[in-house]
Amino acid sequence: MLKKLMKHDFRALSRTLFPLQIGILGGGLVATLLTVLTIRIGENTARSDGSALLRALIMGVSATMSVLIGIAIMASALVTLLLICYHFYRSFMGDEGYLTFTLPVSTDKLILSKLFTGMIWTLINAVVIVVTLLIFSVFGTTSNSIANMDVLKAIRMFFTDVLPQAAQYVNVPLMIIETIVIGILGLAAQMLEIYFAIVVGGQVAKKHKVLAAIGMYLLINMGVGIITTTFMSIVTFGEGLANIAFDTVQEVSRFMTSAFGWYGVLFAGLAVLFFFLIRSIFKKNLNLQ
C-alpha cells in the first residue's frame, strides 16, 4: 500500500514540481547564455575602443545576472518546499482529508508516503540547483572559451588532489556515507517538524489554519533549537570535544567524526519524535472539520 500511496503522492506533486524544476534548469540556461553574450560583446567592444566605463558596465550586468540567478534558485527551493507542504496540508487538513483518512491504509503509511515523496522531491530540487549552478559556473563565466577551464580544473583537482590527500588522514568513503546519512536524517527531521506544525496548526485553529501552522512552526523550531543546543553542549563536554585544540588534521577529523555521529543521533531522535507525535494526533485526536 505504501508503494501505491507514494505513486499517487508523487503524481500529485509532479504536476507542479516537475515544470518548476524544468523552469529552474531552463532559466539557468537562459541566464548563462545571456551572461556569456554580455561578457563577450562587451569585452570585444571594450577592447576595440578601450573604454573602462563599458568594461565596468559589463561587469555590473554580469554580476547582477549572477545575483538574480542566485535569488531565483533560492526562491525555487523555497517554492518547492512550500508546494510539498501545501500538498501535505491539502491531503490531510483540507477536503481531500475525507479521501485520505477513509483509505484502508495504516496511519504510519499515510505519513511515510508524504515524508518519502517530500524528501525525494527536495533531493531532486537540490540536484537541479547544483546542476544549474555548475552549468552557470562552467559556461557562464568565461569570454575566452566555451567552458571556464579554471572551474573544470578546480572540480578535477577536488577528485585528484583533495580527496586523495584527505584519505591519508580520514576514511573518505566513511565520511561521504556519514554525510549522506546525516543529510537524509536531517532532511527527514526537518520535513516531519514542518508536517507536525501543519497538523497542530490544523488542530488548534478553526480558521486561518495556514497562519496557525506558520506560528506553530516558529514555536516548535524554537523548542528544537533549545534541544539541539542543550544536546550538543552535553555531547561536546561529555566527549571532551571542547578540549580539542584543532591544530592537527587528526584532531579536526576526530571532532568531525564525533560531532557528525551525534548530529545523526539527534536528527534521528527528532525525526522519530515528530513522526510519533503526528501519528498520535491522527490516531487519537483526529477531528476533520
Q: Does 96 bind another protein (CB under 8 A)?
A: yes
3-state secondary structure (DSSP) of residue 124: helix
CB of 201 vs another protein, minimal distance in Å? 18
Query: In this chain, which stretch among 101-109, 182-190, 212-220, 249-257 interacts with another protein, using CB under 8 A?
Result: 101-109
C-alpha cell at 220: 516548535
- Choice from 22, 56, 99, 272 touching another protein (CB under 8 A): 99
Q: How many residues does the chain have?
A: 289
Q: Does 287 bind another protein (CB under 8 A)?
A: yes
Query: What is the spatial distance between Cα 52 and Cα 125, in angstroms, rounded to a whole number?
Result: 40
Name the region of 20 (left: φ>0; alpha: ψ -120 to 50; beta: rest): alpha
Residues whose CB is less than 8 angstroms from the CB of residue 12 and which lie 6 or more positions away in sequence, other chains included: 87, 91
Residue bearing cell 579536526? 252
Q: Does 98 bind another protein (CB under 8 A)?
A: yes
3-state secondary structure (DSSP) of residue 269: helix
Q: Does 8 bind another protein (CB under 8 A)?
A: yes
- Choice from 40, 55, 90, 279 touching another protein (CB under 8 A): 90
Query: What is the spatial distance between Cα 195 and Cα 201, in angstroms, rounded to a whole number?
Result: 10
Q: Does 95 bind another protein (CB under 8 A)?
A: yes
Task: Write the binding mask 246 to 285 for another protein: x where contact by CB under 8 A, - elsewhere.
Answer: --------------------------------------xx
Query: What is the spatial distance between Cα 58 and Cα 39, in angstroms, rounded to a whole number?
Result: 6
CB of 288 vs another protein, minimal distance in Å? 4
- Choice from 72, 105, 119, 244 touching another protein (CB under 8 A): 105
Query: What is the spatial distance between Cα 9 and Cα 86, in angstroms, rounded to a whole number?
Result: 12
- Choice from 10, 86, 101, 116 touching another protein (CB under 8 A): 101
Looking at residue 162, the DSSP 8-state letter turns out to be I
- Choice from 103, 152, 154, 211 touching another protein (CB under 8 A): 103
Residue ranges in contact with another protein by CB under 8 A = 1, 4, 7-8, 11-12, 15, 90, 95-99, 101-106, 284-288
